[in-house]
Chains A and B, each alone.
Chain A
Amino acid sequence: NAGVTQTPKFRILKIGQSMTLQCTQDMNHNYMYWYRQDPGMGLKLIYYSVGAGITDKGEVPNGYNVSRSTTEDFPLRLELAAPSQTSVYFCASSHPGQGTQNQPQHFGDGTRLSIL
């Protein structure tokens, strides 16, 4: 059982380039998330999705786009890379919360992105 798989693991981009960070999960989770983690900071939510065809903004969505055409995949796109987007990006998935019984999120190993 692979869980949450992110590709690539590392990438260096030039300012203004675009790229897509891939995320796929094999646990049939409805909910998927993208976070960024900056040094000395906790994770901040970029976008999330509660199911195929449904996406919504998180805390820091500017400069990013997402799509959710299947339950398994949730790619994150950077259209015009900027130095401020240098970060480690984590994808996560979970079952929907059941009332107050929030379900834990399962995380990928991250994509380390540098923009120069």
Chain B
Amino acid sequence: AQSVTQLDSHVSVSEGTPVLLRCNYSSSYSPSLFWYVQHPNKGLQLLLKYTSAATLVKGINGFEAEFKKSETSFHLTKPSAHMSDAAEYFCVVTAYNNNDMRFGAGTRLTVKP
């Protein structure tokens, strides 16, 4: 079985400063990991995914995440926050198929002007 813990329920940054959203995972198998973003009243949109290739994964809108097996972490980062990044972010872990995806509780990112 697998599970995800997002370490912060809410992160607040100023526009132009770095973003760090933390995610730890647990998995009995080699995991696939995803980050999704959810804007208000919208569905989830894929930011990036890790599927056992390069450990540093680049996604859309300048986001990237690094898979660290020794730390069982998959933290999401962005060098410079933009106002449009304000949203809810979900870390997701799955095993070798898509039928048992486990979502974290989410991190709400606030970006201050």
Contact = CB atoms under 8 A, between A and B. Distances in A.
Contacts of A40: 9, 105-106
Contact of B43 (A4, A42, A50, A97): A4
B103 A43 contact: yes
Interface residues on A, range: 20 to 34
A40 B8 CA distance: 12
Contact of B97 (A92, A102, A107, A108): A102
A50, A100, A108 interface centre (most CB from chain B within 10 Å) = A100
Nearest to A40: B105
Interface of B: 4, 9, 30, 32, 34, 36, 41-46, 49, 51-52, 90, 92, 94, 96-106
Given A42-B103, A43-B90, A90 B97 contact: no
A45 interface: yes
Interface string A54-85: 00100000000000000000000000000000
A97 B45 CA distance: 18
A41 B98 contact: no
A1 interface: no
Contacts of B99: 31, 48, 50, 56
A48 B97 CA distance: 12
B34, B43, B92, B106 interface centre (most CB from chain A within 10 Å) = B43
